[in-house]
């Protein structure tokens, strides 16, 4: 998870379904509330993939070698099916068709599915990428409501999941989420899965703000609908809060992605003190170069910045691929500009603290 490669920035155009089965480039908003999916879907089930039907010579949909997937229903929340029924889903295309593709690794995995029946009974079932269908282990927000749906029906609900994109050993339990209204502030607390929920908050306009521990910040909010003009005006980045409006008898949800708030930054110069642009800069732990990536590219002024860095000891590598190019007319180097690994300067990063103004000089061979 660390450090974040610069090439991830190239995927901004892809809509990410947080904690879901799949990423989608379809033209739909990336999420919707549990209530909306409950109201709109025809079937809501927990099902397990038991088999895949192969397509000879990649003759399946979109040139796939899989034609369809069969799932066995294990639990029913809504619809005219029962446990142990088998459902067959056609192979889809998550990019062009906005429907799930199936793979061998999905066999024996459980999924929470929101299913929409086709207009004609002869048409196959598909699983859409634009709803909340996902692998069961990531459906805890949905299950909290579905498991108590008869009692909670008609009540307002605010919910979501807190994610940490870097360190795997960070606890998600016990985090406070404040819902700030004009007259009163409500507090929800995350469970062991990072899920928070709060019922019966009066309709109105609110600000949602997570309590942040030292060294952390909000990377992004992922609400269950597109923000209104008011919400954009009152909850814009880089704020650690988001504005929303809660309607009567409705739900509003927002997933919260957290990241470390520190960074490592500096500037790369050539031997004549001229800034060098488009130099690949990598940050790796001392004595561990297994996961090399281009974590930052220098800008027009030779500057680089690597965000969300875990505490530890690191070395900086320039041109880790060791390929000479017009922008990098030098072989692999280590900060502060040496070719030998043992001469590299070790950088110590402390939790919540930045390392700034590093200066790298690329000298002529």
Is 177 contained in some domain?
Answer: yes
pLDDT digits 0-9 by tens, 211-234:
999 999 999 999 987 666 665 666
Taking the alpha carbons at both ends of the chain, their separation in whole angstroms is: 35
Peptide bond into 238 cis (omega under 30): yes
14-18, 65-69, 158-162, 350-354: least confidently modelled range: 14-18
Is 54 contained in some domain?
Answer: yes
Among the listed residues 213, 217, 204, 194, the one whose alpha carbon sits nearest the alpha carbon of residue 307: 217
Q: What is the CATH number of the domain that holds 240?
A: 2.60.40.10
Residues 161 and 233 in one domain: yes
Distance CA 116, CA 119 (A): 9
Q: What is the mean pLDDT of residues 57-86?
A: 89
Residues 89 and 25 in one domain: yes
pLDDT at 130: 86
Residues 254 and 278 in one domain: no
Residue 21 scores a pLDDT above 50: no
Phi, psi of 37 (to 5 degrees): -70, -35
Q: Are 260 and 310 in contact (CB under 8 A)?
A: yes
Is 184 contained in some domain?
Answer: yes
- pLDDT confidence tier of residue 167, bands split at 50, 70 and 90: low
pLDDT at 27: 65
Q: Are 257 and 242 in contact (CB under 8 A)?
A: no
pLDDT at 170: 84
Among the listed residues 24, 132, 121, the one whose alpha carbon sits nearest the alpha carbon of residue 77: 132
pTM, 2 dp: 0.81
Q: What angle do CA 327, 293, 21 make, to 5 degrees?
A: 130
Final residue of a structural domain among 219, 234, 260: 260
Residues 219 and 171 in one domain: yes
Residues 28 and 130 in one domain: yes
Residues 23 and 134 in one domain: yes
CA-CA distances (angstroms) from residue 89 to 35, 68, 79, 110, 127? 24, 6, 16, 15, 7
Q: What is the mean pLDDT of residues 266-290?
A: 93
pLDDT at 88: 96
Distance CA 179, CA 41 (A): 29
Residues 16, 21, 22, 27: what is their CA dihedral angle, to the nearest 10 degrees?
A: -70
Residues 22 and 134 in one domain: yes
Place of tokens 């029913």: 76
- pLDDT confidence tier of residue 93, bands split at 50, 70 and 90: confident
Is 291 contained in some domain?
Answer: yes
Distance CA 139, CA 181 (A): 28
pLDDT digits 0-9 by tens, 176-199:
999 999 999 999 999 999 999 999
Count: domains in the chain: 3
Residue 24 scores a pLDDT above 60: no
Is 12 contained in some domain?
Answer: no
Residues 129 and 199 in one domain: no
Among the listed residues 228, 75, 100, 218, the one whose alpha carbon sits nearest the alpha carbon of residue 160: 218
Among the listed residues 227, 247, 17, 14, the one whose alpha carbon sits nearest the alpha carbon of residue 114: 17
- pLDDT confidence tier of residue 296, bands split at 50, 70 and 90: very high
Mean pLDDT of the chain: 88
Beginning with the edge strand found earlier in the chain, give each strand of the sheet holding 86-90 in spatial order: 86-90, 66-78, 43-54, 110-115, 134-135
Q: Are 81 and 45 in contact (CB under 8 A)?
A: yes
Among the listed residues 110, 100, 109, 114, the one whose alpha carbon sits nearest the alpha carbon of residue 44: 114
Distance CA 115, CA 45 (A): 8
Residues 222 and 304 in one domain: no
- pLDDT confidence tier of residue 95, bands split at 50, 70 and 90: confident
Q: What is the mean pLDDT of residues 352-364?
A: 93
Is 4 contained in some domain?
Answer: no
Residues 304 and 231 in one domain: no
Residue 2 scores a pLDDT above 50: no
Final residue of a structural domain among 260, 278, 303: 260
Is 144 contained in some domain?
Answer: no
Residues 73 and 123 in one domain: yes
Residues 200 and 270 in one domain: no
Distance CA 9, CA 306 (A): 12
Give the up-direction half-sphere exposure of residue 350: CA atoms within 13 A in the CB hemisphere: 3
Q: What is the mean pLDDT of residues 81-109?
A: 92
Phi, psi of 99 (to 5 degrees): -135, 155
Sign for the CA dihedral angle at 108, 109, 110, 114 comes to: negative
């Amino acid at each position: 998870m660390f450090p974040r490669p610069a090439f991830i920035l190239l995927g901004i155009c892809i809509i990410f379904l947080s904690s879901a089965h799949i990423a989608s480039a379809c033209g739909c908003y990336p999420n919707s509330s549990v209530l909306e999916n409950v109201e709109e879907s025809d079937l809501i089930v927990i099902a397990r993939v038991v088999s895949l039907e192969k397509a000879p010579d990649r003759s399946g949909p979109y040139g796939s070698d899989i034609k369809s997937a069969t799932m066995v229903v294990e639990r029913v929340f809504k619809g005219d099916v029962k446990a142990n029924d088998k459902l067959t889903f056609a192979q889809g295309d998550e990019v062009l068709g906005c429907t799930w593709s199936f793979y061998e690794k999905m066999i024996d995995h459980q999924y929470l599915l929101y299913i929409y029946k086709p207009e004609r009974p002869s048409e196959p079932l598909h699983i859409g990428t634009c709803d909340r269908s996902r692998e069961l282990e990531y459906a805890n927000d949905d299950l909290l409501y579905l498991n108590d749906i008869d009692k909670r029906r008609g009540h307002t609900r605010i919910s979501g999941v807190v994610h940490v994109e870097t360190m795997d050993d960070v606890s998600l339990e016990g985090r406070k989420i404040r819902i700030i209204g004009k007259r009163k502030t409500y507090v929800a607390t995350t469970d062991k899965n990072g899920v928070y929920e709060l019922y019966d908050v009066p309709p109105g306009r609110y600000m949602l703000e997570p309590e942040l521990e030292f060294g952390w910040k909000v990377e992004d909010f992922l609400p269950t609908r597109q923000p209104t003009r008011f919400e954009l005006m009152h909850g814009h980045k880089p704020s650690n809060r988001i504005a929303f409006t809660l309607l009567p008898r409705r739900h509003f949800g927002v997933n919260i992605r957290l990241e470390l708030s520190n960074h490592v930054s500096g500037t790369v110069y050539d031997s004549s003190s001229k800034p060098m642009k488009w130099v690949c800069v990598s940050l790796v732990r001392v004595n561990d170069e297994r996961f090399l990536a281009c974590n930052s590219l220098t800008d027009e002024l030779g500057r680089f910045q690597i965000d969300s860095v875990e505490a530890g000891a690191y070395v900086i590598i320039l041109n880790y691929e060791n390929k000479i190019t017009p922008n990098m007319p030098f072989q692999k180097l280590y900060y502060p500009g040496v070719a030998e690994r043992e001469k590299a300067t070790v950088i110590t990063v402390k939790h919540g603290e930045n390392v700034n103004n590093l200066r790298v000089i690329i000298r002529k061979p």
